[in-house]
Chains A and B, each alone.
Chain A
Amino acid sequence: MKRRGNMLNPFQLLPGPRAHALAWLLTASAATGAGALTLTWARADEQQPAAGLVRWSAEEKAVLASLSLKRLPPAPSDPSNAVEQQPAAVDLGRRLFEDPRLSRNGAVSCASCHDPARQFQDGLAVSRGVGLGTRRAMPIVGAGHATWLFWDGRKDSLWSQALGPLEDAVEHGTNRAHVARRVAQDYPREYEAIFGALPLLEGLPAHASPKGSATEQAAWQAMDPRRRTEVSRVFANAGKAIAAFEKSLPVPPTRLDGYIDAVIRGDRAAGHLLRADEVRGLRLFIGKAQCVSCHNGPLLSDQQFHNTGVPPRNPIRPDRGRAAATTAVQADEFNCLGPFSDARPEQCEELRFMVTDDAALEGAFKTPGLRSVADRPPYMHAGQLSTLEAVVRHYVAAPHAVVGHSELTHRHGGASPPKHVERPPIELTDGEVADLVRFLGTLSTAR
Chain B
Amino acid sequence: MNRLSAFPLALAALALLPGCASPPNDLDLALTRPGVERRYVVTLQPPARPAAINQLHAWQVQLRTSAGTPVTEARIRVDGGMPQHGHGLPTRPQVTRELPEGRYLVEGMKFSMTGWWEIKLAIDGPSGADQVTFNIVVAESAAGR
Contact = CB atoms under 8 A, between A and B. Distances in A.
Interface of A: 1, 3-4, 7-9, 12, 58-59, 62-63, 65-66, 71, 73, 147, 286-294, 296-297, 302-304, 306, 349-350, 352-358, 360, 407, 409, 419-420, 422-424
B19 A58 contact: no
Interface in B61-100: 83-94
Contacts of A420: 83-86
A349 B140 contact: no
Contact of B54 (A12, A291, A303): A303
B108 interface: yes
Most central of B4, B17, B86, B93 by chain A CB within 10 Å: B86
Given A287-B20, A354-B92, 9 more contacts: A4-B5, A58-B8, A294-B113, A297-B53, A349-B107, A350-B56, A353-B93, A358-B88, A407-B87
A73 B53 CA distance: 11
Contact of A287 (B8, B19, B91): B19
Contact of B85 (A58, A71, A407): A407
Contact of B86 (A302, A354, A407): A407
Interface in B37-69: 52-54, 56
Given A4-B5, A293-B113, A358-B88, A349 B19 contact: no
B21 interface: yes
B108 A349 contact: yes
Interface in B11-44: 11-12, 16-21
Contacts of B90: 302, 304, 355
Given A12-B4, A63-B16, A419-B86, A304 B21 contact: no
A58 B141 CA distance: 13
A37 B40 CA distance: 50
B113 A58 contact: no
28 contacts: A3-B8, A4-B4, A7-B4, A8-B4, A12-B3, A12-B4, A58-B11, A58-B16, A59-B16, A63-B16, A65-B140, A66-B140, A66-B143, A71-B145, A147-B54, A288-B19, A293-B19, A293-B21, A297-B143, A302-B54, A353-B56, A353-B91, A353-B108, A353-B110, A355-B91, A419-B86, A420-B84, A422-B84
Contacts of A419: 86
Interface in B86-124: 86-94, 107-108, 110, 112-115
Contacts of A3: 8, 12
